[in-house]
Homo-oligomer: A and B are copies of this chain.
Amino acid sequence: MDRKVGIVGVGMSKFGRRNDVTVRELSWEAVKEAFEDSGLTQKDIQLTVIGSTAYRGTEIYPAPPVSEYCGLVGKSPLRVEAACATGSSAVFTAVNAIASGMVDIALVIGVDKMTEVDTATSLAIGGRGGNYYWEFHMYGTTFPTYYALYATRHMSLFGTTEEDMALAAVKAHKYASYNEKAHFRNKVTVEDVLKSRVISWPIKLLDSSPISDGAAAAILASEEKIRELKIDTPVWVRAMGYGSDTSYIAARGEWTGLNAAREAAYMAYKVSGYTPHDIEYATVHDCFTIAEIMAYEDLGFVEKGKGTALLREGQTEKDGKVAVNLFGGLKAKGHPLGATGVAMVYEITKQLREEAGPVQHSFKKYVALSHNVGGTGHYAFVGVYSR
């Protein structure tokens, strides 16, 4: 990119079932914190990009009410959506608006209030994120089923077991227990996961991320503006790779990983100049436990089929070779679709600034990566960041 872009402030609301707030109030929890974190105010912001899927809330056009409530009238011309990768698509849009020279400072707000409809409706809306006519309409497939197809294929080809997948849930809940903003803070055991209710075999309740309400915010600025403002702790966005895939899952060539994520990772490594071996911290899109294992492989942390080894050896724990999801992941921190990708930026910024408290990872090179998937690999964004 022609101009360097840095993250200068981040905020995140409490994730969970947030019947206590409207989508506007929920957004403000995150935006307020991002302003306080950056020392900036509304008058510094030139552009606001709102990421929200907005299918499950009363506000189906959330950009105007959210920006109005947050004091950003005049600066909020669009909303972006990429299903579960919506948050990253908003970061992508803001990064480009700064790197292009159009603006110097942009605010990204990722928000979704998903619990305003019941779980069955939410799953049905989600199921339409795949191919509507064939997979959803004819077979009634929803997300647990889509990921179950990937899980069974991974098990069949590589010997991955239900216990292996359960390890990802145990890790997520362990770290979420330290995170006051997480949807779930209870620890679980492998046995808890294995005994939990089957949703779509081999995926059980505790292999699945929850339906959450939440918001996250990030303020980004150009290098020139960062120097002008004398901000001494920017986190640089080194690349924002993207990919996409067929809506029809049956049209894909293989079902042990997500091609969109591999394309996004390839682009992110190529643009940033970093390799998988440089990545010390990653937020991966663990909407289901199998998704975390596939992510390790799609991102090149290990070769195809070896993802479970990283989990078994503890390599993705704090102070491991590449720490993953030390804030609890989608699995336990929660997964409000529009917020998730922006919350990854929040987490990476806190980690690279060494402000992560009990879950602070030890860095040498200070290089981190975000992996955010929309649908069942229909969209993907991979970001690379450094201090």
Residues of A within 8 A of B (CB): 1-3, 47, 55, 58-61, 63-65, 67-68, 73-83, 85, 89, 92-93, 95-102, 125, 128-133, 240, 242-248, 251, 259-260, 263-264, 374-375, 378-381
List the B residue with the shortest CB-CB distance to A22. B133
Known: A74-B244, A74-B260, A76-B244. A63 touches B2 (CB 8 A): no
List, in ascending order, chain B residues with CB within 8 A of A77's CB. 82, 85, 89, 92, 242-244, 260, 264, 374, 379-381
Asked if residues A245 and B64 are in contact (CB atoms below 8 Å), the reply is yes
List, in ascending order, chain B residues with CB within 8 A of A245's CB. 64, 73-74
Please measure, in the bound complex, the distance between the C-alpha atom of A251 and the C-alpha atom of B2, giving whole angstroms: 40
Asked if residues A82 and B63 are in contact (CB atoms below 8 Å), the reply is yes
Copies in the complex: 2
List, in ascending order, chain B residues with CB within 8 A of A92's CB. 77-78
Known: A65-B247, A101-B1. A79 touches B78 (CB 8 A): no
Please measure, in the bound complex, the distance between the C-alpha atom of A248 and the C-alpha atom of B381, giving whole angstroms: 34
Asked if residues B244 and A60 are in contact (CB atoms below 8 Å), the reply is no
List, in ascending order, chain B residues with CB within 8 A of A247's CB. 61, 64-65, 68
Please measure, in the bound complex, the distance between the C-alpha atom of A225 and the C-alpha atom of B260, giving whole angstroms: 26
List, in ascending order, chain B residues with CB within 8 A of A83's CB. 61
List, in ascending order, chain B residues with CB within 8 A of A98's CB. 100
Please measure, in the bound complex, the distance between the C-alpha atom of A80 and the C-alpha atom of B80, giving whole angstroms: 4
List the B residue with the shortest CB-CB distance to A103. B96
Top 7 nearest A-B pairs (CB, nearest first) are A99-B100, A64-B247, A77-B242, A78-B89, A96-B96, A100-B100, A2-B101
Identify 18 residue pairs between A and B in the complex whose beta-carbon atoms are under 8 Å apart, listed by A's number. A1-B102, A3-B100, A58-B133, A60-B132, A63-B379, A64-B244, A65-B131, A67-B244, A68-B247, A74-B243, A74-B263, A75-B244, A77-B89, A77-B244, A77-B379, A78-B80, A78-B379, A97-B100
Known: A74-B244, A78-B92, A260-B74. A378 touches B61 (CB 8 A): yes
List, in ascending order, chain B residues with CB within 8 A of A101's CB. 1-2, 99
Please measure, in the bound complex, the distance between the C-alpha atom of A186 and the C-alpha atom of B242, giving whole angstroms: 46
Please measure, in the bound complex, the distance between the C-alpha atom of A243 and the C-alpha atom of B75, giving whole angstroms: 6
List, in ascending order, chain B residues with CB within 8 A of A82's CB. 63, 77-79
Asked if residues A60 and B99 are in contact (CB atoms below 8 Å), the reply is no
List, in ascending order, chain B residues with CB within 8 A of A132's CB. 58-60, 65
List the B residue with the shortest CB-CB distance to A377. B64
Please measure, in the bound complex, the distance between the C-alpha atom of A77 and the C-alpha atom of B268, giving whole angstroms: 14
List the B residue with the shortest CB-CB distance to A245. B73
